[in-house]
Amino acid sequence: MEIKFYGGNCLRFSTKKTSVVVDDIVHLGAKSQVTDKDIQLVTDERMGNISSVAKFVVSGPGEYEVSDVSVMGIAARAHVDDEKAGKMATIYRVIIDDVRIAVIGHIHPDLSEEQLEELGTIDVLTIPVGGNGYTLDGIGAQKIVRKIEPKIVIPTHYSDASLNFEVPQTDLETALKTLAMEPAETVDVLKLKGGEMSDVTRLIVIDRK
């Protein structure tokens, strides 16, 4: 299984049989990454990035089985919402090629025991770190990392001059210092096999495509 990063919160999880695209970046002024062969996951419908060409779209809570991919959507409080506004974002647990991935969008960092139980054991955690009131910052991301205890952490949604963020995002170097993890490993494409990951949590930065 391979993971590629396209900026913003957009990632692609792919095997020889299938491909999953998270939070397409067309709303940030970039080319859409979704094709008619992709399953698309949307962590917040208000971003307006639901593709009309995707093979299958998941944009909310529920359980889905598509093309050998298992997806569970878990309701979550959006980062910018008042607590009384309810749960308007979605966390995803994706199982693909025996790798268990937690996809975090722009959510409030306080996860409940019920949400953590639904996520279960996680191999890979993808999480925004750009902050500035728009999404999680390093401190909020660290809080979630400690609760989930994944084997790999992939930071997303940090400053990128080629994208039109609604709110300026913190640069990656600053965000990682706040996240307070061991120095990051950087890769062009992250290649993984289920059952072959270290039990020690690693921070891995994937270069933007």
pLDDT reported for residue 194: 78
Beta bridge partner(s), residue 190: 3
Q: Quick check: 32 and 48 in contact, CB under 8 A?
A: no
Residue that the structure tokens 């139980």 belong to: 117
CB-based contacts of 83, cutoff 8 Å, min separation 6: 77
Residues of the chain with pLDDT under 50: none
Beta bridge partner(s), residue 69: 66
pLDDT reported for residue 66: 93
Count of CB atoms within 10 A of residue 29's CB?
A: 10
Beta bridge partner(s), residue 92: 73, 103
- How many helices (H) and strands (E) the chain has is answered by 3, 14
Burial 145-160 (b: 16+ CB within 10 A, else e): beebebbbbbbbbbbb
pLDDT reported for residue 86: 57
Mean pLDDT of the chain: 92
Q: How far apart, in whole angstroms, are the C-alpha atoms of residue 32 and residue 15?
A: 20
pTM: 0.94
Domains along the chain with CATH numbers: 60-206 (3.60.15.10)
Q: Quick check: 76 and 60 in contact, CB under 8 A?
A: no
pLDDT reported for residue 129: 96
pLDDT reported for residue 112: 95
* Number of residues that this document lists for the chain: 209
Q: What percent of the chain has pLDDT over 90?
A: 79
pLDDT reported for residue 196: 78
pLDDT reported for residue 78: 87
